[in-house]
């Protein structure tokens, strides 16, 4: 990371402490957006780690008391599977966060995988355009984007050597090497436009890749998580000791 901003890394010995820190950042970012713009837009990822955050949020009074009718929940990515499929990122978030908090349907902008994948992309882009009231050429600026990282360095559904950068698009579909083999994802330009990003990382399986990502060459095609390098000052990395063990 030659000459880069130093990454803002926080390491936690206990998953519960990591979850609390993530939930606190979520609430802090939400309150700031609500105070300054009267609403909060957030995009969450799938996988295991967001569950820690969601479980903490539903127990946190400060989160429960947020004006959820002024909050808009989107997904960073989704697997191209039915909403009833255990692999569905929407299913996990809906069951662990949105239903328990009573978030209204109007505030939930899921990636609708019932239609052809191209139409799924178009419909999600249209939803983003609408909620953000974008003018031509504008990129949606989420108040918060929560990312994870796979052991292969992927983030969102942007996998090594298997995505394209198209600054004109907000949403794309990809064909990752791991099942489900079709996924819908926010594009790099949308990730990089966020006001605040948090990357949640747990587990020993991330350690070697994290060491390479932070100390190796800068190559976002090979290490997609490095797409946040241009905006590192807006990224908080929350990780457990296992994930951080080779830094």
**Strands 183-186 and 171-174, sheet pairing:** antiparallel
The residue (of 72 and 154) whose beta carbon lies closer to ligand 6PG is: 154
The residue (of 77 and 125) whose beta carbon lies closer to ligand 6PG is: 77
The residue (of 78 and 125) whose beta carbon lies closer to ligand 6PG is: 78
CB of 179 to ligand 6PG, least distance (A): 11
Residue of 41, 89, 94, 187 that binds ligand 6PG (CB under 6 A): 89
Q: Which residues, 6 or more positions from 222, have their beta carbon under 8 angstroms from its beta carbon?
A: 153, 160, 161
- The Cα–Cα gap between 110 and 42 comes to 12
CB of 124 to ligand 6PG, least distance (A): 14
Main-chain phi, psi angles of 241, to 5 degrees: -65, -30
The residue (of 104 and 178) whose beta carbon lies closer to ligand 6PG is: 178
The residue (of 71 and 147) whose beta carbon lies closer to ligand 6PG is: 147
The residue (of 32 and 169) whose beta carbon lies closer to ligand 6PG is: 169
- Pick from 181, 143, 124: nearest CA to 27: 143
Q: Element (H or E) spanning 111, and its range?
A: none
Residues that contact ligand 6PG, how many (by CB under 6 A): 14
User: DSSP states of 115-177 as a string?
Assistant: S-HHHHHHHHHHHHHHHHTPPTT-----SEEEE---TTS-BTTB-TT-----TT-SEEEE--S
174 binds ligand 6PG (CB under 6 A): no
Report helix, strand or coil for 155. Answer: strand
187 binds ligand 6PG (CB under 6 A): no
CB of 114 to ligand 6PG, least distance (A): 18
- The Cα–Cα gap between 29 and 25 comes to 6
- The Cα–Cα gap between 4 and 6 comes to 6
x/- letters, 128..167, toward ligand 6PG (CB under 6 A): --------------------xxx---xxx-----------
Report helix, strand or coil for 132. Answer: helix
28, 29, 31, 36: CA torsion to nearest 10: 140
For the segment 45-64, give every residue that binds ligand 6PG (CB under 6 A).
Answer: 45-49
User: DSSP states of 51-87 as a string?
Assistant: HHHHHHHTT-HHHHTS-GGGEEEEESEEESS-TTSTT
CB of 235 to ligand 6PG, least distance (A): 14
CB of 243 to ligand 6PG, least distance (A): 9
176 binds ligand 6PG (CB under 6 A): no
Interface positions with ligand 6PG (CB under 6 A): 45-49, 76-77, 89, 148-150, 154-156
């Amino acid at each position: 990371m030659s000459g880069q901003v130093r990454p803002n890394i926080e390491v936690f010995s206990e998953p519960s402490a990591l979850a609390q820190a993530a939930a606190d950042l979520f609430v802090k970012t939400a309150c700031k957006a609500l105070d300054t713009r009267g609403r909060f837009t957030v995009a969450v990822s799938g996988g295991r780690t967001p569950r820690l955050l969601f479980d903490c949020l539903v127990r946190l009074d400060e989160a429960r008391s947020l004006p959820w009718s002024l909050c808009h929940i989107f997904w960073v990515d989704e697997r191209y599977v039915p909403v009833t499929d255990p692999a569905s990122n929407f299913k996990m978030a809906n069951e662990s966060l949105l239903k328990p908090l009573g978030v209204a349907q109007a505030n939930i902008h899921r990636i609708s995988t019932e239609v052809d994948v191209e139409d799924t992309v178009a419909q999600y882009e249209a939803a983003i355009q609408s909620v953000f009231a974008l003018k031509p050429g504008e990129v949606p600026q989420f108040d918060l984007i929560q990312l994870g990282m796979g052991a292969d360095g992927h983030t969102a559904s942007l996998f090594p050597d298997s995505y394209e950068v198209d600054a004109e698009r907000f949403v794309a579909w990809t064909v990752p090497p791991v099942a489900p083999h079709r996924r819908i994802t926010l594009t790099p330009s949308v990730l990089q436009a966020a006001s605040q990003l948090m990357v949640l990382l747990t587990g020993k399986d991330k350690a070697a890749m994290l060491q390479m990502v932070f100390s190796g060459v800068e190559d976002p095609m090979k290490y997609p998580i490095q797409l946040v390098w241009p905006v590192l000052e807006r990224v908080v990395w929350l990780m457990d000791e296992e994930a951080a063990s080779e830094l």
